[in-house]
Structure 1
Amino acid sequence: MQLILASASPRRRELLTQAGFTYRIHPAHIPEDPRPDEDPIAYVCRLAREKAEAVYGQLVAAEPGIVVLGADTTVTVDGEILGKPESAEDAARMLRILSGRTHRVITGVSLVSSVRTETAAEVTAVQFLSLSDAEIQDYIATGEPMDKAGAYAIQGYAARWIPRIDGCYFNVVGLPISLVATMLEASGLNLP
């Protein structure tokens, strides 16, 4: 069996490689808009499943033994979903919301194979220090926030503002590796 990652995320690639998985990349291209009143956990689980199912559907005829891994990460505060910022102004808005508060990072993970489809979510609480407007503007100027859910990267410059997390660090980076490994093992899909 071959593991296919239905994502173009460099962070997800790095985490899978670091954990010793052998895989191939085939990004999914699906709409990522939340549905009205959609719960953040339901939202990321739906997107992870839709990504994995889309790629599985594209490849299964030629490669019947594949296992497709889909994932989606979001940041949420008070039930509001903070996806990737659409502009520098949107990034600043998100960072002001996160400033001085604890938020949740949620990653939905889905595995699709000929045997089954399994979807789960990992939730990590992340505490942020208070940020000044100057810190926010300087951070946005680095470009780092622009392709990240919640407009920050815990493994990057923003690490200086995160004194504490409760949960899986790798989830905040973009892929809860332990959850993925557990799901693969529970499915009997022991991939290298």
Structure 2
Amino acid sequence: MDIILASSSQRRRELLNLITNKFEIIPSNFDESTVSFEGKCREYVIKLSKGKALEVADRVKGEKLIIASDTIVFNNENLMLKPKDEKEAFNMLKSLSDNTHKVYSGIVVLNLETNEMLSDAVCTEVKFSKLTDDQILEYIQTKEPMDKSGAYGIQGKAAVFIEKINGCYYNVVGLPLNRLNSMINEMGVNL
């Protein structure tokens, strides 16, 4: 069975490669703006992930296993997606400073041979240390925050900001491998 990762994320590609190196990348063209956030993070990331998986499923044929995921940061009752500009990145990082926030990833595994779909969401709590404005500005200058939910990458230069995590590290990176592997096994697919 061919495995498809419905994402252009380099991080997700690297993580999936830890489970199998036999997959192809077909980025989803799903319009995420069609899903509105109604205050429930788990449901939101699952809907986004389903949209991505189904959009790719419409474009491929045959015995395929599609994996789709979406990750968000939720802090102080605020949804934090990718920052639009450096000012928004600064404000996000300032609000994360000396705070604990939650990172949610939705995962969908869609088997086109059986039409079986499994979906779930994983949550990890992340505690940031207290950051100075200079630390935040220096980090923004690396451009690393600009393509990441919550304006940081735990696997990159922001690693030094993380005081502790409670939950799956790989979830914070963008693909909760333990849960993904369990879902694939539940489908009876052997990688």
TM-score by length of 1: 0.94
**Aligned residue pairs, count:** 188
Instruction: State, as a whole percentage, how many aligned pairs show the same letter.
Output: 39
The secondary structure found in structure 1 opposite 2:59 is helix
RMSD across aligned positions (CA): 1.2
Gaps of 5+ in 2: none
CA deviation map 1:78-134 (0-9, x unaligned): 331101111111111110111100000100000112321111011100000111111
Matched, 1:105 2:103: yes
After superposition, residues 122-141 of structure 1 pair within 5 angstroms as 122-141=122-141
Gaps of 5+ in 1: none
Alignment partners' CA distance in 2, 1:184 and 1:20: 12
Could you tell me whether the CA contact under 8 Å between 1:45 and 1:108 is conserved in 2?
yes
1:86 counterpart residue number: 84
2:45 counterpart residue number: 44
CA deviation map 1:48-72 (0-9, x unaligned): 1110111011102xxx200110100
Alignment partners' CA distance in 2, 1:9 and 1:184: 20
The secondary structure found in structure 1 opposite 2:65 is strand
Could you tell me whether the CA contact under 8 Å between 1:40 and 1:79 is conserved in 2?
no
Alignment partners' CA distance in 2, 1:176 and 1:21: 17
The secondary structure found in structure 1 opposite 2:58 is helix
After superposing the two structures, state which structure 1 stretch, 160-169 or 28-37, moved more: 28-37
Q: Which amino acid aligns with 1:10?
A: Q
Could you tell me whether the CA contact under 8 Å between 1:8 and 1:27 is conserved in 2?
yes
Q: Which amino acid aligns with 2:83?
A: P
Residue 17 of structure 1 deviates from its aligned partner by 0.9
Alignment partners' CA distance in 1, 2:189 and 2:77: 34
Could you tell me whether the CA contact under 8 Å between 1:3 and 1:23 is conserved in 2?
yes
2:25 counterpart residue number: 25
CA deviation map 1:147-170 (0-9, x unaligned): 011000101111111010000001
TM-score by length of 2: 0.95
Q: Which amino acid aligns with 1:111?
A: V
The secondary structure found in structure 2 opposite 1:28 is coil
Q: Which amino acid aligns with 1:45?
A: I
The secondary structure found in structure 1 opposite 2:83 is coil
Could you tell me whether the CA contact under 8 Å between 2:7 and 2:25 is conserved in 1?
yes
Matched, 1:71 2:72: no
Residue 36 of structure 1 deviates from its aligned partner by 4.8
